[in-house]
């Protein structure tokens, strides 16, 4: 399977959101990554339901919604209703993770679990067979433009081994600091989905950058 690319809309020009969503539509990108931050779980606030509804109106690619929020179970049905195709919650924010995964699947969305850089992958062992996606944070969540954490490579390899051992179908998504320099090594380690924000949107030709990531 070729690598999936999910440009992060958090790095887009919010005054020209429709333009940037349509750029992603016409590019080789596979998903649109949408970061929801509440200012509590992470020290930043991004956007909420009205903005996601607006993105969905123009998007032709699936919305990969990453909930960096406390008590995500309160909003699962709402995010699905406004257009989320993949809903990812943080293991650190869920007291009853298995129940939340069931809740996401009950809406018809794919269920993902995100891990902060300090969280060991073995915390996923008892849930890995039930989820569709693992999002490994390769920066500390909350802000774009951070430096990639090198330890991520070994975490990807170990997670890939766990997935194969258990017989899970979960994809491995890397979120944070992804660029054309580390993308090949991430793919070799076992990554399936690359999230890229500033690397894409700071380029004068974002579509070309997406194509380069897609065709490493």
Contact 65, 87 (CB under 8 A): yes
Whole-angstrom distance, CA of residue 118 vs CA of residue 109: 27
Backbone angles phi, psi at 212, to 5 degrees: -65, -40
Give the residue numbers annotated as catalytic, written as ranges.
35, 175
Whole-angstrom distance, CA of residue 136 vs CA of residue 110: 16
Contact 16, 43 (CB under 8 A): no
Whose tokens are 């194509």? That residue is 211
At residue 142's C-alpha, the angle toward residues 139 and 147, to 5°, is 30
Sheet holding 63-68, edge to edge: 4-7, 193-196, 171-175, 133-137, 110-115, 84-90, 63-68, 32-37
């Amino acid at each position: 399977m070729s690598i999936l690319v999910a440009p992060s809309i958090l790095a887009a020009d919010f005054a020209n959101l429709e333009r940037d969503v349509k750029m992603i539509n016409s590019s080789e990108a596979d998903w649109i990554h949408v970061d929801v931050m509440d200012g509590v779980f992470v020290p930043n606030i991004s956007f909420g339901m009205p903005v996601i509804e607006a993105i969905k109106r123009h998007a032709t690619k699936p919305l990969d919604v990453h909930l960096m929020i406390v008590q995500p179970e309160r909003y699962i049905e709402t995010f699905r209703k406004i257009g989320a195709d993949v809903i990812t919650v943080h293991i650190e924010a869920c007291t009853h993770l298995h129940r939340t995964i069931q809740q996401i699947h009950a809406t018809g969305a794919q269920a993902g679990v995100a891990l902060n850089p300090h969280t060991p992958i073995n915390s996923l062992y008892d849930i890995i067979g039930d989820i569709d996606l693992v999002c490994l944070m390769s920066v500390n969540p909350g802000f774009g433009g951070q430096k990639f954490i090198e330890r991520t490579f070994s975490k990807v390899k170990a997670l890939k081994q766990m997935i194969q051992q258990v017989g899970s179908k979960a994809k491995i998504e890397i979120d944070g600091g992804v660029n054309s320099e580390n993308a090949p090594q991430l793919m070799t380690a076992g990554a399936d989905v690359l999230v890229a924000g500033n690397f894409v949107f700071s380029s004068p030709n974002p579509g070309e950058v997406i194509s380069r990531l897609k065709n490493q």
